[in-house]
């Protein structure tokens, strides 16, 4: 049985309402459940469809059930679906060991000015012990739907090797969650994500 580098392992998925946070956290959570871990997922609901900032806290442990809140400054991994949201989460939950994987495609907040993407990326890198910024949305559009960005990010997370779940366990969960053809396209996206962090 695999053990965790740290117990509990704290993962935060950051994004904007409507991007699919809940789906990502559920798929990852299921992979851990299959391997016999305790998993707790805390979601920000309410704003989920309505363009607010959203985050999912995933807490994984061999020992016991944790609360759905990761304490401030205690995230181990941050999976960002949008760069500004990634930075927001890093500022509150980051620490000197945190590892970040993030989508570099901006989603503008209604009526707000943005600094250049370069500045945001530099800030993300400055607050992470290690980071990967990938343009998952553009890659997803090539596959026909921006929603595949989620699967690309999961692929990147597994591919980065920082995560105690391998491709085989994730594939098992995806097969259960997506019927027939949908599974195949999702796997293409997943593999793309793995590839993007391998380069």
Partner 1 sequence: MSGVGIDAPGSTQLFIGNEAIARGALEAGIGVASAYPGTPSTEIMASLISVAKEMNFYAEWSVNEKVAMEVAAGASFAGIRAITSMKQNGVNVAFDFLANLVMSGIGAGLVLVSCDDPSTISSSNEQDLRNIAKWLDIPLLEPATFQEAKDMTKWAFDLAEELNTICMIRSVTRIAHARGNVRLGELPKKEQKAHFDSICPVVPTLPKFISYPSAWLHSQLHAKLDKARELFESSPFNWYTGPEEAELLIITGGSCWLYSLEAVKALKLENKVGILKLGTIWPLPRKLIELHLGKSQKILMVEEIDPFLEGSIKELVADLPPATPRPTFYGKHSGHINAYGELNPDLVIEVIASIMNLTYESRPAEYSKKAEEIPFTYMPPRIMTFCSGCPHRATFWAIKNALRLDGRDGFVTGDIGCYTLAIGPAGFFQMRTMYCMGAGAGVANGLGKLGQFGFNQPVLAVCGDSTFFHAAIPALINGIYNKSNFTLVILDNNATAMTGFQPHPGTGVTGMGEITTAVDMEALCHSLGVQVEVCDPFDLENSTATLLKAIAQDGGPRVVIMRRECELVRGRRDKKPPYKVHVDPDKCLGEACGCDRLCTRIFGCPGLVWDSESGKATIDETICTGCGVCTDICPQGAIIREAV
Contact residues for ligand SF4 (CB under 6 A)?
49-50
130 binds partner 1 (CB under 8 A): no
Is the Cβ of residue 76 or residue 158 nearer to partner 1 in the bound state?
Answer: 76
Tokens of 59: 């807490």
Tell me, residue by residue from 87 to 126, as one string, x for binding to partner 1 by CB under 8 A and - for no binding: xx-xxx-xxx----------xxxxxxxxx---xx--x--x
- The distance of closest approach from Cβ of residue 31 to partner 1 in the complex, given in angstroms and rounded to an integer, is 10
- The distance of closest approach from Cβ of residue 118 to ligand SF4 in the complex, given in angstroms and rounded to an integer, is 27
Instruction: Tell me which residues in 136-175 interact with partner 1 (CB under 8 A).
Output: 137, 141, 146
Q: Residues near 114 by Cβ (< 8 Å), separated by ≥ 6?
A: 84, 106, 108, 120
- The distance of closest approach from Cβ of residue 160 to partner 1 in the complex, given in angstroms and rounded to an integer, is 22
- The distance of closest approach from Cβ of residue 198 to partner 1 in the complex, given in angstroms and rounded to an integer, is 26
Q: Using the rule CB under 8 A, which residue among 33, 161, 175, 182 binds partner 1?
A: 33
* Cβ atoms of 11 and 58 closer than 8 Å: yes
Residues interacting with partner 1, by CB under 8 A? 16-18, 25-26, 29-30, 33, 38-47, 49-53, 64-69, 71-74, 84, 87-88, 90-92, 94-96, 107-115, 119-120, 123, 126-127, 137, 141, 146
């Amino acid at each position: 049985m695999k053990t965790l580098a740290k117990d509990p392992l704290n993962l935060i998925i950051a994004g904007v309402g409507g991007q699919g946070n809940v789906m990502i956290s559920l798929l990852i959570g299921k992979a851990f459940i299959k391997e016999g871990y305790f998993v707790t997922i805390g979601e920000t609901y309410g704003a989920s469809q309505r363009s607010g900032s959203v985050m999912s806290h995933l807490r994984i442990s061999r020992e016991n059930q944790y609360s759905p809140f990761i304490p401030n400054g205690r995230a181990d991994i941050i999976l960002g679906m949008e760069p500004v949201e990634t930075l927001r989460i890093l500022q509150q939950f980051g620490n000197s060991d945190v590892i970040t994987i993030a989508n570099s495609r901006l989603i503008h907040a209604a009526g707000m000015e943005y600094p250049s993407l370069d500045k945001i990326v530099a800030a993300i890198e400055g607050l992470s012990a290690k980071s990967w910024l990938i343009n998952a949305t553009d890659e997803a559009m090539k596959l026909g739907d921006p929603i595949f960005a989620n699967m690309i990010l999961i692929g990147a997370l597994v591919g980065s090797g920082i995560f105690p779940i391998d491709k085989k366990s994730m594939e098992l969960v995806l097969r259960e969650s997506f019927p027939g053809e949908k599974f195949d396209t999702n796997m293409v996206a997943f593999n793309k994500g793995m590839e993007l962090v391998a380069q």
